[in-house]
Chain A
Amino acid sequence: MKTEMAYTQAFEKLEALIAQLEDGDIQLEDLAAKIEQANELIAICEMKLRRTEDDVKSAISKAASKRKK
């Protein structure tokens, strides 16, 4: 389910988590869970970025090959 999250949504959550970390708002006992959550969000962002980049490249090369025909 988490992988269905959009890049923007995942990145916004990640930014909010980092802001909490920077402000010291997270209790030490919650820290490990929050770090894990942040790592999951990072993985989603990276996966979404890769997939979008691949999609864009493929769309561009499709358009280029259509033009050649």
Chain B
Amino acid sequence: MTGQIKLSALVDQIEEAIQTSFEGEMFWVVARIMNVKKYASNRRCYLTLEEYENGIKTAEMRSVFWASAYAEIEKFEKLTGQVFKDGIEITCRVKVRFHKVYGLNLDIVQIDIAHTIGTLELERQQTLDRLLKENPHTIQLFDGVYRTFNNRLPLPAVIEHIALITAPNSDGQRDFQQEMAKNKHQYKFFITEFLTTIQGDNAHKLIAEQLTLIEKSGLHFDAVAIVRGGGSQTDFKPFDDYELARYVAHFPVPVFTGIGHDRNQSIADLMAREQKTPTKVAALFVDHNFEFENNLIELKTRFFDLVENQFQQAKEKVAHARRMVKLASPEAILNRGFAIVMINNKIITDPKNIREQDELQTILRDEIIYSTVTRKNNNEN
């Protein structure tokens, strides 16, 4: 065996070769991240960058974010609304590093966040297009607004029975329940909780399962609230899932979402009635019922006014009739200076019945005058 060298000598040569080729160089690479292990306390993240072609892995490199680059992960999560986790494709800037003991690594120094946002947006748009294409009668787009079977369902006049899909012991659950319980109008709501995990890879399936439970429960619900709250602004990808969005769009009870992110609307939000946060969903239910109560009060006032008017009009009509009758009475006629002429206690209305020498009784207001007719002339007036 000639030409034997020590391992360290070989490793030195490899190191030198790598340094010669890659010293001071940095590269932008597109890869899928896998085996992500984040250590937030010492701000490091170990992972592998992988590439696949037709489902077959064609490249893999161990990689690391050192403390100096860890902020890139935080920035990524904040701006994309997505957790930095296995399976995501990223574009990142790397430098090649070789360690005599630990071998070859890529140090990630920067992430092209715009690329990821673009990729996510593209996926999202593809899902929306598919929803429109495959459900033309129940999901439509008008002036930038998605009109679905679900979000066009009329709301009942009063919302009382609510199915609440949320995570157990979560901020969302607490915020929603508190807002409903402390409503200033003291409305009573009947809330049935359907608890499940609402974040993570399987969340879309678990939420869909809860919707199925609601549908099959045989219970009457006026509305469904899907809420998730608290600080996490990330990981709303489950709500962009095609199957969940389609289920929401066709759900027979009005769905309200309050899944707690301000950056963007999820596709499930677009298929339902979106209120951003659990508190806002609860407030909407309270306001909806308050509006009904207001309408009722207005109707009651109008009803009372109408009843009052009707009585007033009837009273005025009767009072008018009373005045008319009073004016027509014999007393009123006599008061106005007219007289009633009688012969033998019989009222004379036709003067032809009066002859000369007849004894007349002329009835005035206060007196009766007895007289004898001495002469009759025609009244020229």
Majority secondary structure of chain B interface residues (helix, strand, loop or mixed) = helix
Most chain B CB inside 10 Å of its own CB: which residue of A22, A28, A39, A60: A28
How many Å lie between the Cα of A53 and that of B328 in the bound state? 29
Specify which of A17, A31, A42, A49 is in contact with B322 (CB 8 Å cutoff): A42
Q: Judge whether B329 and A35 touch: CB under 8 Å.
A: yes
Which B residue sits closest to A38, measured CB to CB? Answer: B325
Contact flags (1/0) for B314-328 with A, using CB distance below 8 Å?
Answer: 110110011011001
Chain B nearest Cβ from A25, distance in angstroms: 11
Using CB atoms and an 8 Å cutoff, list the residues of chain A in contact with chain B: 7, 11, 14-15, 17-18, 21-22, 27-29, 31-32, 35, 38-39, 42, 45-46, 49, 52-53, 56, 60
Within residues 330 to 348 of chain B, which ones have a CB less than 8 A from any CB in chain A?
330, 340, 346-347
Among B304, B317, B329, B346, the residue within 8 A (CB) of A31 is: B329
Whether B330 pairs with A11 at a CB distance below 8 angstroms is no
**Whole-angstrom distance from the CB of B326 to the nearest CB of chain A?**
9
A52 CB, nearest partner CB in chain B, Å: 8
Do A32 and B330 contact each other (CB < 8 Å), given the known contacts A21-B325, A46-B318?
yes
- A38 near B321: Cβ-Cβ < 8 Å: yes
Q: Which residues of B contact A (CB under 8 A)?
A: 304, 307, 311, 314-315, 317-318, 321-322, 324-325, 328-330, 340, 346-347, 349
When the two chains form their complex, are residues B325 and A11 in contact, meaning their CB atoms are under 8 A apart? no
Bound-complex Cα distance A61 to B347 (A): 55
Taking a contact as CB atoms closer than 8 A, the residue among B311, B329, B330 that contacts A53 in the complex is B311
Select which of B322, B328, B346 is within 8 A of A21 by beta carbon. B328
Chain B residues lying within 8 Å of A49, measured Cβ to Cβ, are: 311, 314-315, 318
Which of chain A's residues have a CB closer than 8 A to the CB of B340? 28
B349 in complex: contacting residue of A21, A22, A27, CB < 8 Å: A27
Q: In the complex, which residue of chain B has the Cβ closest to the Cβ of A63?
A: B300
Q: A49-B314, A49-B315, A53-B311 are in contact. Are A31 and B321 (CB under 8 A)?
A: no
On whether A42 and B307 interact (CB within 8 A), knowing A28-B340, A35-B325, the answer reads no
Specify which chain B residues have a CB less than 8 angstroms from the CB of A31 in the assembled complex: 328-330
Chain A to chain B contacts (Cβ below 8 Å), 17 pairs: A7-B314, A14-B321, A18-B321, A18-B324, A18-B328, A21-B325, A22-B324, A28-B330, A28-B340, A28-B347, A29-B347, A31-B330, A35-B328, A42-B321, A49-B315, A52-B311, A56-B311
**Which chain A residues border B324 with CB–CB below 8 Å?**
18, 21-22
Q: How far is the CA of A25 from the CA of B201 in the complex (A)?
A: 96
User: Closest CB-CB distance, A30 to chain B, in whole Å?
Assistant: 10
A13 to chain B, nearest CB (A): 11
Instruction: Check A15–B315 contact: CB distance below 8 A.
Output: no
